[in-house]
Amino acid sequence: MFTKKEGLILYWCEGSKALDVSAVSNTNPEILKRFIEWITKHYGIKKEKLKMQLYLWDSINENKSKEFWSKELGLSNKSFYKTYIKKKEGNYRKHKYLYGVCRVSFCNKKIAKIIQQDIHKLLFL
């Protein structure tokens, strides 16, 4: 479990910089699990309110990827937004991520603002 400080550093490096959403995208389920634990513990977000979105290459099976991420992160299959699929272009080479990139997010301006303020206090004051 990340401390609040460790989670803020993770978020500062990997998180969304938008002012209305709190999100982290990654190919590593362990990073996303830690983000989920952190945001639920330190900011009171319920897991059921979290959403996922996949970024896949067109050679990756979307259903298998959804099954993988849902199982790994302990989130419902119903929590997925529409998947973004990258189409083959030009000099196409095989990607190394079997299940694509997963983005875990929570849309709440108030929480996003508090996280940004907490990062500022931790790192810049």
Q: Tell me: the pLDDT tens digits for 41-62?
A: 999 999 999 999 999 988 899 9
* Domain extent listing, the chain: 4-124
Cα distance between residue 46 and residue 64, in whole Å: 25
Residue 105: the pLDDT is: 96
Residue 116: the pLDDT is: 92
Q: Which long-range contacts (CB under 8 A, 24 or more apart) does 91-100 make?
A: 94/59, 95/57, 95/59, 95/60, 97/27, 97/60, 98/60, 98/68, 99/27, 99/54, 99/60, 99/64, 99/65, 99/68, 99/69, 100/27, 100/54, 100/55, 100/56, 100/57, 100/60, 100/65
Residue 41: how many other CB atoms lie within 10 Å: 14
Fold topology of 4-124: 60s Ribosomal Protein L30; Chain: A; (3.30.1330)
pLDDT in tens, the chain (125 residues): 789 999 999 999 999 988 889 999 999 999 999 999 999 999 999 999 999 999 998 889 999 999 999 999 999 999 999 999 988 765 556 667 889 999 999 999 999 999 999 999 988 86
